[in-house]
Chains A and B, each alone.
Chain A
């Protein structure tokens, strides 16, 4: 989807809606990294501002564009709950805009979040192929792989890996042929992790390589941070 300057990310040059807990920003994505997202020609909207919900504001913005309030604006990555191309809110020619109010700002689940910048989790080719093979073998498993952590194990935390479908509030990492779902509470423990799949004599199964782990148990199924 990106335009010029591919090194600045897929959304470079694309007008996006950036959701935070209180505010939606609309602007042209210029650069983004782990720390921040830089927008150009930016407008912003608070829920209820000018008598409009976020949804109503975005549908109008998608139809006509926005009057910019800022030439540039930087949004810290930790504040961002979702980033969507503004065009996704376009309702087409002459179609009445549906007016379902988005959830309250305190529950920022207006859209399936799309990861921007570096993905918190990466997969090796072997892991990807194994997931695709399993999904193709058993149609009822869901559309993707859910990764998470939970308390337990000999080192304090254990990984959860299961096939599942998308749930509201998930962070979604698209893969070739399936999706990876992360719940938000697990992200801080999973950031930087590499999911591998081993099929050799030493064992067969998914394996987490976690740069955040200060201690890992011998079997690799639990870890501490």
Chain B
């Protein structure tokens, strides 16, 4: 059962304010996944304080690198149920996990960070995992 929207609104805002595109409906998910070329990071957000509390700030830290995905989006597990289910289907054959990160390149899953690699970690540790993946799979977005 979804939490009251007032409770999760700050958790949505935290990501939106850092430029992450929120996908709340299946049509928004479909549109986002339609573009296959390039790289994108999808965060499956959740209310879990012990894991998502590190996952959200880790996005901001990791996106500070020159090498980063072309696009970043999020769905909210337990809240936007249909959008999350569709996004999980489109990621590929990995067990559902929230919070979690999926890094996609040219339509294929190239890196996944399940919940157990987030729980008990601080944001820096989670960001380090993402940064390593960005370095391996993403282009530089350095200016000039």
Residues of A within 8 A of B (CB): 1-4, 13-15, 28, 62-68, 85-87, 90, 92-94
Contacts and interface: CB of A to CB of B under 8 A. Distances in A.
Contacts of B97: 65
Given A62-B117, A66-B95, A93-B111, 4 more contacts: A14-B120, A87-B120, A90-B117, A93-B136
B50 interface: yes
Contacts of B141: none
Contacts of A2: 120
Given A4-B50, A13-B50, A65-B95, A86 B129 contact: no
Given A4-B50, A13-B50, A87 B116 contact: yes
Nearest to A16: B116
Interface string B115-133: 1110110000000010011
Nearest to A90: B117
Contacts of B10: none
B112 interface: yes
B114 interface: yes
A63 B64 CA distance: 24
A93 B116 contact: no
B49 interface: yes
Contact of B95 (A14, A62, A64, A93): A64
Contacts of B117: 62, 87, 90
Contacts of B50: 3-4, 13
Contact of A65 (B51, B111, B114): B114
B94 interface: yes
